[in-house]
Amino acid sequence: MPESAPILEVHDLVKQYPAVAAVDGVSFAVPEGTCFGLLGPNGAGKTTTIEIMEGILPPTSGEVRYRGEPLGARFREEAGILFQKTALQDFLSVRQSVQLFRGLYSHGLDVDEVLEMCALEKLASRDNRKLSGGQQQRLLLAIALVNDPQVLFLDEPTTGLDPQARRNFWDLVESIKARRKTIILTTHYMEEAQLLCDEIAIMDRGHIIARGAPQQLLREHFAEVLLELPRSEFPEPARALPLKLIDASDRVEISTHDLDATLRTLIEAQVPLRNLRIRPANLEDLFLELTGKELRT
């Protein structure tokens, strides 16, 4: 199989609930050895999509193929999964929890190796209920890695972690990427997606509204820079100016490829600039541009 061949293919996936189509005709392919990000706000359908891809949730229609075949026994042996929320069996130590899952697979890594990989050696004998949020996520990642998976699903893995724990987790994911594992990641942290993902798909209301490499998407949709002004300081008449405005919750953003000209226009219109912030566009801006909504609403 060539290296760029898709390890996972999603064809016309639909998940219909009585009142809403959580996923509505989603198709994409994930090349082997890449990190693929599914982005979107809460309720966009990304967790439903990833759970169908994991074989946990049956789709209403459409299918997911792993190495060209429908999901089956081989996929279960070769997939590692970290859910958004997972409880482990009570009264087990960190090592026993990993051992339990190691026992469910015919092939995999040595328990000590996994514990070392996820920096859990010193916590091995601790009760799994007595771990901090970051330690708990590292344990769940260790469990997801215990079968030495070919494809690793991470569903919002750093939600609720403090910045330090989040950075530690990203380092871990980088080290897994370096081992040429395929990673499917859902997140609403744009920094996380930009740092880890080779390709992203942005979801909204069950549809994929943009797909590609993060930098390529930003280049396609944005000029070089964004100007940010507090909404309260942006006078209403200035909205008539020939500028590309994007409304965020507490600020107004102006996208431009000619910073000098834009600044001159604002000064001439007497827009207060003392709280002006200039920065390059990111995925958060892209989502706002595409949907008119902020990603973390």
Partner 1 sequence: MMRRLLAVWHARNLEFLRDRPTLLFTLLLPLGVVVGMGFIFGGPPRPLFKVGVLGPSLGSHANPFLHERYVQFVPIHDVTGGLYEVTHQRIDLLLDLDGTARYWVNTDSPKGYIVEKLLIVADPGARRQPVTGQAIRYVDWLFPGILAMNMMFSCLFGVGYVVLRYRKSGFLKRLHATPLTAFEFLSAQVLSRLSLILFVTVLLYLCIGAIIHFHTAGSIGLLLLLAVSGSLSMIALGLTIAARFASEELVGGLLNLLTWPMMLLSGVWFSIEGSPRWVQWIADIFPLTQVIDGARAVMLDGAGFAQIMPNLIYLAVTTFVFLAFGAWSFRWRVE
Residues that bind partner 1 in the complex, under the rule CB under 8 A? 54-56, 73, 76-77, 79, 81, 83, 85-89, 101, 104-106, 143, 147
Asked whether 51 and 57 are in contact (CB, 8 A), the reply is yes
Pairing of strands 182-187, 151-155: parallel
Instruction: Provide DSSP, 50-111.
Output: HHHHTTSS--SEEEEEETTEES-HHHHHHEEEE-SS----TT-BHHHHHHHHHTT-SS---H
In whole angstroms, the minimum distance from the beta carbon of 146 to partner 1 comes to 10
The answer for residues whose C-beta is within 8 angstroms of residue 143's C-beta and 6 or more apart is: 82, 88, 97, 98, 101
In whole angstroms, the minimum distance from the beta carbon of 111 to partner 1 comes to 15
Alpha-carbon distance of 65 to 13, in angstroms, equals: 11
Which CB, 54 or 289, lies closer to partner 1?
54
Which CB, 104 or 269, lies closer to partner 1?
104
In whole angstroms, the minimum distance from the beta carbon of 63 to partner 1 comes to 18
Which CB, 100 or 263, lies closer to partner 1?
100
Asked whether 291 and 209 are in contact (CB, 8 A), the reply is yes
Which CB, 81 or 115, lies closer to partner 1?
81
In whole angstroms, the minimum distance from the beta carbon of 76 to partner 1 comes to 4
Asked whether 275 and 227 are in contact (CB, 8 A), the reply is no
In whole angstroms, the minimum distance from the beta carbon of 283 to partner 1 comes to 28
In whole angstroms, the minimum distance from the beta carbon of 210 to partner 1 comes to 29
Which CB, 20 or 104, lies closer to partner 1?
104
Give the neighbor-by-neighbor strand order of the sheet with 207-212: 79-82, 151-155, 182-187, 35-39, 199-204, 207-212
In whole angstroms, the minimum distance from the beta carbon of 237 to partner 1 comes to 47
Pairing of strands 244-247, 35-39: unpaired
Stated length of the chain: 297
Q: HSE, CB side, 13 Å, CA atoms: give it for residue 50.
A: 29
Which CB, 152 or 227, lies closer to partner 1?
152
Which CB, 153 or 222, lies closer to partner 1?
153
